[in-house]
Structure 1
Amino acid sequence: MSSGYITITLKDFLFNAGVVGFIKVLRQEGFNLEDQDIGNTIHVPVSLLENFHENYIKALLNTFQNETLYQSLINQFEHFAGIKPEDIPKEEYKSFIEKLCNKLTSASYKSGYQIIAEKGDDFDVLSRVKMLKTEKDIQKSVSICYELIQYMKKHRETLCMKDIIYTKIIMFWRNVAFFERSNIRKDIKECYYNYFVKPALEYLNRKNKGALQCIQCGNPINASLGMGMSWLNDVGIDMERKRSHFWNFNPDTYICPVCALVYSCVPLGFTVVGGEAIFINNNESIHTLVAEKDIFERGGEKYTTLNQLYYKVLYSFIDDAAQEQTREIQNIQIIRRVSVDTDTGKYVFNTLSKPLLEILKACKSNFKNLINWTFKKDKDTYVNVYQEVANNFFSGRNQYALVHAILQKVFTENLRAPYVRDILQIQRRRMRKFYSEEGGSEAMYISRKEFDAAYNEGLRIRREYANTVTNVKGDNDKNMKINESLRSFVYPLLLALKTKDKAKFNDTMFRFYVGRNESIPKILIEMQQSDEKFQMLGYTFIAGLQGESLNSENAENIVNEEGE
């Protein structure tokens, strides 16, 4: 680091997320990334760290306030305040009062009141809440709520930050600064300053920094100045409790206070919505990382995972990012922070290579058709088809187990499965692309002509069966009759495909077509040349047997397969 400046360089994904968040905080002070060279390093004036704690809180509030229960309660009250008391929906208002009282009597908010009282505001929130719980007159109730909401607005920096700390920051780090038990009733900004900003400034002003090296930046450090990394979730070990992990019981995996400051900004580097967070680690340059984060933020609700699936968010982002940047995005590392249970989470990694991104783009309409499609796999298990297909796609697993389960349900319980063809198209395109791009076997190459031939043959048979069904009330009864007629043919085929038993499949096909006084179509013979074609085209044939796919324009008409 040079005099008057600190140098920050990209490293691992978590540090990179911290760098993006760090820059977000610096922007509050007027830092202009465009003034920096396009590369993986930035040079930051030390003077910008003096008010870093102030800007850190501002950045957190600006980023996360709209996603907090704090803000939700304010919005709900303002909605009720704009209605005549006699017109307020009773059940809706009752639910609001319950949520408001629960939040205002929570442990985190009670500690916040003590912080606020230290600053001279001794408004008795808890007594007002007690009054609110028993107040039956709607007008008086709204009046009490008004007082409480005004108090919340007045002390946004403390109360909203309590929500952010325990819903957003805690996803990434804990046990230090304002998380320490002794600090929960102390000013949040002051706690952050004392634990992160002050040590960084003192470290930068110190001449003799030590003989050890920071394991992130390589700058000199000693044990008294350095920090461990156990406060970061799923990173490092507690050096005070587990010294046996180190040579001669002497810990040496310290980070300097500047790197600790950067790591504290990780929550601002991820895009956090609800219980999930996403970080695009396109680490070609800091400009690229920040630009992609900016795309996420400009997208607003379009990219939130609160009311839609992660993969849908990812598709939208990739489309927008590819359009906004001058060159094509490729080899993207996607890191997600997902909840395991109420107290723990984990990092999940996906790397999207250029071929995978091209397939994703080609299959966009197929994936779109699967959104909101759920089917009941068994008594207690519902499968979100969209999510399952996407998980298989990104993990490199084929779709056959899912397709098998759906088709078996179709013919057993007469359920609609409108987009099985789309699932198989996604699988076909993935197989084909990796054959052509990454040296897969020739058997993986299945043309659209072959695919359509297998599907259309199944569809032809179903239509011919449909022509023989008479004296039924409607389409549901007609489909039931057709499925019953085809069931004895389909079941052996599904079993043969599941076990890759070509002989059983061939025998079943032979008896079926002989009974119809027809020859087995060429496509159903040629597909048995390899296991890949056998399963792909075999399931495609049965998908045709189960009926016509809906057009993508009718996606909103999908009926969930839940036995309704």
Structure 2
Amino acid sequence: MGKYLVTMGDFLKNAGIVGLNYMLDMSDAESGKDYGIKMQNRPVDGLELYEQGLWIDEDFVQQCDWTGMYFDACVNYYGDSTVYKGILDRINKIICKIDNDQWKPDKLVKEDKEDIKFINDKLLSNSYKAGFENIRNEVDGSEIYVNLQQNKLNAKSTSQELKQRLEGIKNFIMQPKCKETFVMKSVIYNYINRFWDGKCFLLRANAKKDMRILFEQDFTKPFKEYIRTNHDKDKDMCIDCGRPMGNKERVSIAFMKDMADDLARKKSAFWNCKVDAFLCPACAFVYAASPLGFTLLGQRFAFMNTNSSINQLLACNSRSGKIVTEAEKKEAERYTQWFARMLKQLMDCKVEQLNNIQVILKGTDEKDKYIFSVISNEALQTFNDEKVRKALEYLGEYPYTRIGADYLIFRRISLHKNWSRLS
């Protein structure tokens, strides 16, 4: 078999490519053998077509555990910003207080009570209960969680009794299967469903079903089958990549939020009311990976979109950075650091021509919409100046940097309009 090329497209498709590349980078896949970057001319009907994208070896596609890769990537990237991390932090904090004789059941402060309540409430949420039911026969110590359901943690218990229960809960939820299940419950309902919904584990009827099985059925299996099937006689075309597909392979693009209405009911936007906005299974899989392409900065997602180069796209949306989850008051600092770091990486690509760059923001609230801004070619030329690039390097590490007697501060005027300057 050959190589399957995932070509660049709209900003969500490009975010999916960044997410897919992140999945491959953190897996056992071998760069240059199992996947890689393609940038070359290809003759089509006597013309030279410049073709670029992320290629994947088709044999590798069939052998790979894409479901496992997707879940591992989500847990690795979003794990520290989930309720699961908050539960572990509070358990460790209470145990530390008990060990240092700072936990007084008869003299509890408000913070101590709130920590116990947080652990109880989050571990016994409906999503966690549903997740537990799917794995209770696959993990050790299920009785610990069952006991918690029947007898919540009590802040007035003796210190040793509380410590024993907390250590048991900690050991239970830190099992790989438990961690994945509980983290993914948070990721699904707080991050993934900001980008796509109404399908797979985000279909309301599937709330209590096994998440891995659902993803395998809805995305991984169709993806593999599509790659290995011959489509020469198929007549339907993917609205994104333009490849042919069978009628039963079509995936409605309506599962992507803010991209299309319910196409089963609202058909008036199409010629003769005939809906043709369908994705092939391969593009659908890439779109499903789009939440891994955005960077989470406090209460917003951010993505820097460029169609001029696949190398640029991957460089200015590097997944190497760690999600920062400090107090809300520092969110602006995190944003300026991200913006400066991404621009610096973009300039390091040393491209011959700099084109306008689209920056997409989306709040983490369920009702938030995409916000689009553009960094103009003129601004990029300024950023490409050697002195400004040095300033960006400093700002990527520190949001407020002093060089000699001068302070370099990157200010953002408005999310809805244009981007300000270095001063």
TM-score, normalized by length of structure 1? 0.60
CA distance in 2, matches of 1:163, 1:103: 10
1:322 & 1:281 partners in 2: Cα distance? 11
- How is 1:149-298 mapped onto 2 (pairs within 5 angstroms)? 149-154=170-175, 155-208=178-231, 210-294=234-318, 297-298=320-321
Question: Residue 86 in 1 paired to residue 101 in 2?
Answer: yes
Distance in 1 (CA, whole Å) between partners of 2:323 and 2:79 is 13
Instruction: Please point out which of 83, 86, 103 is paired with 2:122.
Output: 103
Question: Which stretches of structure 1, 4 residues or more, deviate above 6 A after TM superposition?
Answer: 302-306, 362-365
Look up the SS of the partner of 2:330 in the other structure: coil
Q: Give the total of aligned pairs.
A: 380
The answer as to whether partners of 1:303 and 1:317 remain within 8 angstroms in 2 is no
Per the alignment, residue 417 of structure 2 pairs with: 395
In 2, Cα distance between equivalents of 1:144 and 1:266: 39
- The structure with more radius of gyration: 1
Q: How much identity, in percent, do the aligned residues show?
A: 25
Higher helix fraction (1 or 2) = 1
Q: 1:128 aligns with which of 128, 148, 152?
A: 148
Task: Measure the CA separation in 2 of the matches of 1:256 and 1:237.
Answer: 19
- Contact persistence 2:81–2:323 (CA under 8 A): no
Decide whether the 8 Å contact of 1:18 with 1:266 is kept in 2. Answer: yes
Shift of 1:168: 1.4
Q: Which letter does structure 2 place at the counterpart of 1:391?
A: I
CA distances 1:88-129 after superposition (whole Å, capped 9, x unpaired)? 384333221111111011111010111112536542525325
The answer as to 2:77 corresponding to 1:46 is no
Question: Gaps spanning 5+ residues in structure 2: where?
Answer: 41-51, 401-408
TM-score by length of 2: 0.79
Segments of structure 1 that go 5 or more residues without pairing to the other structure are 370-385, 398-425, 431-551, 553-564
Bigger shift: residues 77-86 or 256-265:
77-86
Alpha-carbon distance change, 344 to 135 in structure 1, aligned in 2, over 3 angstroms = same
Structure 1 or 2: larger strand share? 2
Which structure would you say has the larger RCO, counting Cα contacts within 8 Å and 6 or more residues apart? 2
Kept in 2: contact 1:273–1:305 (CA 8 A): no
Map Cα deviations across residues 495-516 of structure 1 (whole Å, 9 max, x no partner). xxxxxxxxxxxxxxxxxxxxxx
**Greater alpha carbon shift after TM alignment, 139-148 vs 17-26:** 139-148
Match for 1:143 among 164, 183, 186? 164
Q: Do 1:29 and 1:55's aligned partners in 2 also have CA atoms closer than 8 Å? A: no
- Alpha-carbon shift at residue 323 of structure 1 (Å): 6.6
Aligned to 2:135: 116
* Structure 2: distance between partners of 1:131 and 1:390: 46
- Alpha-carbon separation, structure 2, partners of 1:212 and 1:304: 50
Letter of the structure 2 residue corresponding to residue 332 of structure 1: I
Deviation sequence 1:185-216 (CA, Å, 0-9, x none)? 22222211110010112222333562111010
Note the C-alpha offset of 1:175. Answer: 1.2
- Once residues 395 and 343 of structure 1 are traced to their aligned partners in structure 2, the CA distance between those partners, rounded to angstroms, is 22
Amino acid at match of 2:10: D
Q: CA deviation at 1:258?
A: 0.4
- Amino acid paired to 1:14: L
Aligned mates of 2:327, 2:29 — CA distance in 1: 27
Q: Which SS does the other structure have where 1:241 is aligned? A: coil
> 1:36 aligned to 2:51?
no
Q: What one-letter code is carried by the residue in structure 2 that aligns with 1:138?
A: S
Report the Cα distance in structure 2 between the residues aligned to 1:304 and 1:316, rounded to whole angstroms. Answer: 21
